[in-house]
Amino acid sequence: MAGVEMFINIRRIHKYQCAQLLTTGLLLSVVMVCWEPLDHHVVSHLVSYSYRYLVNSYDFLGSGGRRPGPTGGEAAGYPYLINHPWKCVSEDGKGWEDVLLLLFVKSSPENFERRQAIRDTWGDEGFVSAQLGVNVRLAFAVGVHPDARRRSRVQRALLREDQVHKDLIQQNFVDTFHNLTTKLLLQFHWSQMYCPRARFLMSADDDVFVHTPNLVQYLLRLSSTQAGARNLWVGHVHKGAPPVRRRTNKYHVPYDLYPWPSYPDYTAGAGYVVSADVAAKIYRATLLLDPSMYIDDVFMGMCAQAMGVSPREHAYFSGQGKAPYHPCIYDHMITSHGHADDVRSLWRKVTDRSAHGSPRGLLGNLYCLAVRAMLLCLPNHQKTYSCRAAFT
């Protein structure tokens, strides 16, 4: 009897072990099949994140990391084709206007309609001064059209557009993806030269929606404290992001351009704000650093890092992706990315609300909290803002 029982036990154990072996094998092969994408995404992020502290404390300026190329000071020297040197000068021409915010929008020559939508909505200087009682200045940074055959026709249209609106700032460089850092240099050099007293500078894409009333309120609140208006660089922060090494990717960066496994922390280029002192520091860094890093927001991160400035996360600055359309979101949002056709309708909704903007009361606030938690924390929604944003 005992012998038979043992025999059965052994067979059971065998069966059990077999199953275990099989599952392990299966798991291993799944891991092996998925290894490459896993490797790219998880591992490279893990590696880069562990390098983050090193890179963030690395001295780009002092390290002789400069290559023999031109510095940003030289590269920013493209002549202006369209300029408005008096944009920030007071009406009597004797001094600087008290400008709270200079809104620099990165545009491309052919994006006439996007620029018009921005002028009519969130970039409307008149609306801001009438409704919010502060001065903002709107300017579009553009280069020249990359297609030589269409260039002169587009250029004539740009000049006509600028005669009406007087808000284009154009330098003589080809407006391409790989010249985005040149456009960044334009913004910081122009601001330093022609609008140095603006208390804040925002850089934004032309497919971004900015909730100007919320942004102005946020900046005014910061300005009212001693430290708040200084040392500010706020946006959607990328922490310890790894450079993309796959050649097929748009953001591919070869090792000789950037050898380290992680970028310094930087804010998404879709929209971020810096205070005047930070803008001046970035300007100084661009004079010394090699601007061949063509991803403009990463280059901005390198400049800031060299000057000891680190970015501050704000839950309602978006990276990729649109904010969910809901009044409970509009109350808080600052930027939202990926808008072209819906800027006007969104602006109507947003300003409607602020016109009748009465406090919601306890129940209303609870309702909004629940709605935001649903919109931002459920996994099926695109990640514009983090789940944390629902509770701030």
Q: Which residues make up the interface to ligand NAG (CB under 6 A)?
A: 173-174, 176, 178-179, 182
User: How near is the Cβ of 158 to ligand NAG at its closest, in Å?
Assistant: 16
Q: Which residue, 292, 306, 346, 340, is CA-closest to 324?
A: 346
CA 232 remoteness from chain centre: 15
DSSP string, 312-328: EE-TTS-SSSPPPS-HH
> Among all residues, whose Cβ is closest to ligand NAG?
178
Taking the least distance from each CB to ligand NAG, the nearer of 294 and 385 is: 294
User: How near is the Cβ of 177 to ligand NAG at its closest, in Å?
Assistant: 8
For residue 105, CA distances in Å to 114, 256, 269, 312, 341 come to: 10, 31, 11, 21, 17
Q: Which residue, 145, 127, 147, 149, is CA-closest to 136?
A: 127
Taking the least distance from each CB to ligand NAG, the nearer of 185 and 195 is: 185
Q: Which residue, 293, 283, 245, 258, is CA-closest to 58?
A: 258
User: How near is the Cβ of 74 to ligand NAG at its closest, in Å?
Assistant: 12
User: How near is the Cβ of 295 to ligand NAG at its closest, in Å?
Assistant: 12
Question: Helix, strand, or coil here: 119?
Answer: helix
Taking the least distance from each CB to ligand NAG, the nearer of 123 and 143 is: 143
Taking the least distance from each CB to ligand NAG, the nearer of 81 and 101 is: 81
Taking the least distance from each CB to ligand NAG, the nearer of 179 and 192 is: 179
For residue 296, CA distances in Å to 96, 176, 180, 192 come to: 29, 12, 6, 18
User: How near is the Cβ of 235 to ligand NAG at its closest, in Å?
Assistant: 25
User: How near is the Cβ of 85 to ligand NAG at its closest, in Å?
Assistant: 22
8 A C-beta contact, residue 312 and residue 234: yes
Rg (CA), the chain: 26
Helix (H) or strand (E) holding 336: strand 335-337
Taking the least distance from each CB to ligand NAG, the nearer of 69 and 357 is: 69
Taking the least distance from each CB to ligand NAG, the nearer of 89 and 244 is: 244
Residue appearing with tokens 């020297």? 77
User: How near is the Cβ of 173 to ligand NAG at its closest, in Å?
Assistant: 4
Burial 103-141, CB ≥16 within 10 A → b, else e: bbbbbbbbbeebbbbbbebbbbbebbeeebebbbbbbbb
User: How near is the Cβ of 255 to ligand NAG at its closest, in Å?
Assistant: 19
Taking the least distance from each CB to ligand NAG, the nearer of 184 and 202 is: 184
Taking the least distance from each CB to ligand NAG, the nearer of 174 and 244 is: 174
* Cα 107 to Cα 123: distance, rounded to the nearest angstrom: 13
Backbone region of residue 301 per phi and psi (left: phi > 0; alpha: psi in -120 to 50; beta: other values): alpha
User: How near is the Cβ of 191 to ligand NAG at its closest, in Å?
Assistant: 21
Question: Helix, strand, or coil here: 168?
Answer: strand
- What is the distance between the terminal CA atoms of the chain, rounded to a whole angstrom? 70
Taking the least distance from each CB to ligand NAG, the nearer of 157 and 174 is: 174
Q: Which residue, 106, 170, 167, 98, is CA-closest to 136?
A: 98
8 A C-beta contact, residue 71 and residue 287: yes
User: How near is the Cβ of 176 to ligand NAG at its closest, in Å?
Assistant: 4
